[in-house]
């Protein structure tokens, strides 16, 4: 998980440093605390497993670059902080990880309030942990991943109580393709983020 966070931060830093020279209007970075809600296990039908994505604490790291008339792009990663048990089996712990890359529209409402709307694509990576480690040329892992393409839509409101620091209540909807491990093809993430804006807002 540390490698995932480090890689994400390096990508965002590289993105922001390279784009800051392109006269970006605004650059934002944020860390959020979220949870997930989804249809209950009892609502599973067809080939979906009776396993809900609901619950858990999901830290989220994200950022964006706005270029023209409050339009830009960004990305974020969100993962379940603790492992859960698939189908209640202690022998099969798992952890969902969500990545998304979005187009963003963030117009100001007042000097200290800014709306944020986003939509894009990404992936859900479900990590099923094992009691042994498998090594490849580049790394060793103790899990196998099941990956699914997803669409993402989100909204938030940034409040700037002090300078360029902001607090952002947020909600995001994941529409996951072939999400057969869980009871439905959609889930909603909601919570609050704390962030900082480089440039005017």
Task: List, for residues 67-105, the tens digit of each pLDDT value.
Answer: 988 999 999 999 999 999 999 888 899 999 999 999 999
CB 168 within 8 A of CB 33: no
* DSSP strand pairing (165-176 vs 58-68): unpaired
**Percent of the chain residues topping a pLDDT of 70:** 88
Return all residues near 138 (Cβ < 8 A) that are at least 6 apart: none
Average pLDDT of the residues in 159-179:
97
Residue 7 is predicted with a pLDDT of 53
Entry pTM = 0.85
Torsion sign over Cα 171, 177, 182, 186: positive
The CA-to-CA distance between both ends of the chain, in Å, stands at 32
| Assigned CATH topology for domain 2-199 | Porin (2.40.160)
Kindly tell me if the per-residue pLDDT of 3 is higher than 60.
no
Residue 139 is predicted with a pLDDT of 84
Return all residues near 137 (Cβ < 8 A) that are at least 6 apart: none
CA-to-CA distance for 128 and 184, rounded, in angstroms? 19
Give the position of tokens 């009892």: 42
Residue 179 is predicted with a pLDDT of 96
Query: How does the average pLDDT of the chain come out, rounded?
Result: 89
Kindly tell me if the per-residue pLDDT of 171 is higher than 60.
yes
- The residue with greater pLDDT, 108 or 10, is 108
For the chain, domain boundaries: 2-199
CA-to-CA distance for 26 and 52, rounded, in angstroms? 38
Average pLDDT of the residues in 44-58:
93
pLDDT category at 16 given cuts 50, 70, 90 is very low
Residue 14 is predicted with a pLDDT of 54
CB 146 within 8 A of CB 152: no
pLDDT category at 21 given cuts 50, 70, 90 is very low
Average pLDDT of the residues in 113-142:
92
CA-to-CA distance for 99 and 138, rounded, in angstroms? 22
**CA 100 from centre of chain:** 6
């Amino acid at each position: 998980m540390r490698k995932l966070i480090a890689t994400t931060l390096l990508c965002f830093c590289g993105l922001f440093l390279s784009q800051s020279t392109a006269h970006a209007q605004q650059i934002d970075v944020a860390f959020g605390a979220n949870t997930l809600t989804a249809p209950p296990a009892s609502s599973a039908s067809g080939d979906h497993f009776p396993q809900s994505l609901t619950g858990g604490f999901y830290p989220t790291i994200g950022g964006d670059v706005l270029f023209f008339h409050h339009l830009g792009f960004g990305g974020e990663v969100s993962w379940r902080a603790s492992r859960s048990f698939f189908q209640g089996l202690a022998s099969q712990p798992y952890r969902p990880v969500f990545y998304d890359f979005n187009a963003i529209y963030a117009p100001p409402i007042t000097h200290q309030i800014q709306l944020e709307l986003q939509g894009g694509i990404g992936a859900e990576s479900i990590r099923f942990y094992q009691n042994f480690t498998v090594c490849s040329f580049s790394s060793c892992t103790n899990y196998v991943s099941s990956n699914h393409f997803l669409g993402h839509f989100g909204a938030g409101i940034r409040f700037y109580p002090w300078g360029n620091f902001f607090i952002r209540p947020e909600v995001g909807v994941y529409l996951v393709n072939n999400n057969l491990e869980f009871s439905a093809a959609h889930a909603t993430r909601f919570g609050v983020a704390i962030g900082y804006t480089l440039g005017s807002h």
